[in-house]
Chain A
Amino acid sequence: MRDIIELASIGLVSGLVIGLAALAVTLVFGIARFANAATGDTMTLGAYAALIGTAWTGSFLAGGALGIAAGAATGLLAYHFVFKKLEQRSSVASLLASIGVGFVIRAVLGLVFGHGQQVFQLPMVRPFRIYDIRVQPNDLKIAAAAIVTLVVVFLILHATPIGRRMRAVADDPMLAKVSGIAPKRVMIALWALAGGVSAVAGVLLGMKTVVSPEMGWEMLLPAFAAAVLGGIGHPVGAVVAGILLGVAQEVVSPLVGFTYKIALTYAVLLGVLLFRPRGLFGRNEGVR
């Protein structure tokens, strides 16, 4: 039993990371209306930028801030040079282009940083026990950072004028337009936000494991699965589903083996699409 709870607590942390990635996916899907396959590589970029920032300043927080800024900038650049031009076209065009954007990001990262693995120099701390359950202090920090990010994002979405406009566009783009909401500003806010959130997910993933050019791409499937499970375009759903998936992955890994952990997210994705395509929280529209 204790093992399961320990695994679940590990899963909770990786679930928060999946949840953040899924949040970035679902925000773009809800507002720009396509599945952004460049999300994973934006995560990777954020992690590398944070590595540089940490090396420059010596401060991990400053490094993280640089990572977020780099992620937001990448989102804005991708919007300005690619997705803005495809707005009037079918979502397929944007989806295909987003694969291309991801490839370009990965190529640049591979050229600049090489293909080796790098790590964040985190202080090694002894795990301590809460009710006999082992907790890694670094995991606590990761979880805290993820939760702070989530709070900030939901504050932006629900307590600021631009957040309200973003939700209005997600709800009904035409109605938002006739109500005098400028779509372009909403899009700029969206891409900065989604890029920043991706970057945080990447930095936290890098803290948890290692930083490599492929790390974000490998998170894409879990992120999509969580976004679909949570109900596409539903931010709270994405986070909840991400946590569920993260916990499920860790808890079943003794049963199915380490390698098939990723296959589990795929099975969940298929199951959701088969039996409840609108996900846990989604509205019943446009799925079938």
Chain B
Amino acid sequence: MEAYLVAIAIVTGIYVLLALGLNLQYGLTGIINFGHVGFFCVGAYTAAILSQHGVSLFITLPASAALAALAAWPLGLVSLRLRDDYFAIVSLGFSEVVRLIVTSERWLTNGVQGIPGIPRMFADLSGMSQASAVLGLLLVLNLVAIFAMRRMVSSPFGRMIEAIRDNEEAVKALGKDPARFKLRVLMLGSALAGVGGAVYAHYIGFIAPEQFIPLITFQIWMAIIMGGVGRVSGALVGTIILMVFMEGSRFLRDVLPFISEVEMASVRIGIVGLALILFTIHRPQGLMGDYTRK
């Protein structure tokens, strides 16, 4: 039971990293990134491929962050000057193309079979202490990310990105170039997703293209919208609700054994969809959001 709770906590920690990245992009800056899973995927494959070649884990993590950010750079350069909804489409396409590439380029990624046997973190520890060490690392990573975002929000850069979110035209009129700030935010958020991907790859030990479907992106969207857009507490609470629901649906199968695993997958998709619809209509500011504002 304890091992199970730690395992859930680790997955939650990875999701919180992703949610923090998306929260920075959408919540603070207003970038509609529908391709978050693509950067997660880049991070995971970077870590997996590097560590297969014997690269130390101290390098795979930063390398994953760097490569995910680097992947975001051309994408943002091309499309962040466009309307928000165009960027949404382009980023969704980006994540699908990333998945296409890792599926097709067998020599690098082993195609649909995926990469097994990715070295674990803290391999010299065993069992619970190893899992706890991973959890500790995630805690540190998340705290650093949260601390950095707190600092950022109260900095001139933070005020600028919030201004871009609230009124891009006004920012332009003041002679600033919103696209440059958005590009930096996109890369930062993607780096967070990349780190999340690296921890995921090292923790799960096996990655394959089918793990990086757009549903993951929209689970993160569901988490930040439920929790409350633009708030660190929102990203946390939303992710926890998401995990309760994901794990809960697993237990539901024990209670209702007549539901098959594929049917359960459909139910999960449906609930993510319903949550997106209901929260955008009825509670756009999320559970942790400002209750005075409508």
Interface size on B, residues (CB 8 A): 44
Given A82-B281, A224-B89, A103:B97 Cβ within 8 A: no
Segment 28-81 of B: residues with Cβ below 8 Å from A: 32, 34, 78-79, 81
B105 and chain A: residue at smallest CB distance: A259
A269: contacting residue among B89, B215, B218, B225, CB under 8 A: B89
* Complex-state Cα separation, A228 to B90, whole angstroms: 11
Given A35-B85, A92-B32, A277-B82, A266:B93 Cβ within 8 A: yes
A228: contacting residue among B89, B101, B262, B284, CB under 8 A: B89
Interface digits, A77-88 against B, CB 8 Å rule (1 contact, 0 not)?
000001001100
* Complex-state Cα separation, A89 to B276, whole angstroms: 15
B78: contacting residue among A93, A96, A270, CB under 8 A: A270
The answer to whether A287 touches B276 (Cβ under 8 A) is no
* Dominant secondary structure of chain B at its interface with chain A: helix
Q: Is A221 an interface residue (CB 8 A)?
A: yes
Q: Is B293 an interface residue (CB 8 A)?
A: no
Q: Is A100 an interface residue (CB 8 A)?
A: yes
Interface digits, A245-288 against B, CB 8 Å rule (1 contact, 0 not)?
00000000000010110110010011001100100000000111
Interface size on A, residues (CB 8 A): 47
* Complex-state Cα separation, A233 to B103, whole angstroms: 34
Q: Is A111 an interface residue (CB 8 A)?
A: yes
Interface digits, A100-132 against B, CB 8 Å rule (1 contact, 0 not)?
111111111011001100000000000000000
The answer to whether A262 touches B100 (Cβ under 8 A) is yes
**Residue among A92, A95, A96, A104 with most chain B CB within 10 A:** A96
A262: contacting residue among B85, B96, B277, CB under 8 A: B96
The answer to whether A259 touches B281 (Cβ under 8 A) is no
* Complex-state Cα separation, A6 to B84, whole angstroms: 39
* Complex-state Cα separation, A37 to B96, whole angstroms: 15
Contacts of B225 in A (CB 8 A): 96
Contacts of B271 in A (CB 8 A): 107
* Complex-state Cα separation, A101 to B273, whole angstroms: 6
The answer to whether A95 touches B281 (Cβ under 8 A) is no
* Complex-state Cα separation, A274 to B74, whole angstroms: 12
Contacts of A270 in B (CB 8 A): 78-79, 90
* Complex-state Cα separation, A257 to B221, whole angstroms: 33
The answer to whether B281 touches A114 (Cβ under 8 A) is no
A286 and chain B: residue at smallest CB distance: B83
* Complex-state Cα separation, A269 to B92, whole angstroms: 12
Q: Is A34 an interface residue (CB 8 A)?
A: yes
* Complex-state Cα separation, A100 to B97, whole angstroms: 22
Given A102-B273, A111-B267, A221-B96, A96:B280 Cβ within 8 A: yes
A-B contact pairs, 15 of them (CB 8 A): A82-B281, A89-B284, A97-B280, A99-B276, A100-B272, A100-B280, A103-B270, A104-B274, A106-B269, A115-B265, A225-B93, A266-B93, A266-B94, A270-B79, A273-B78
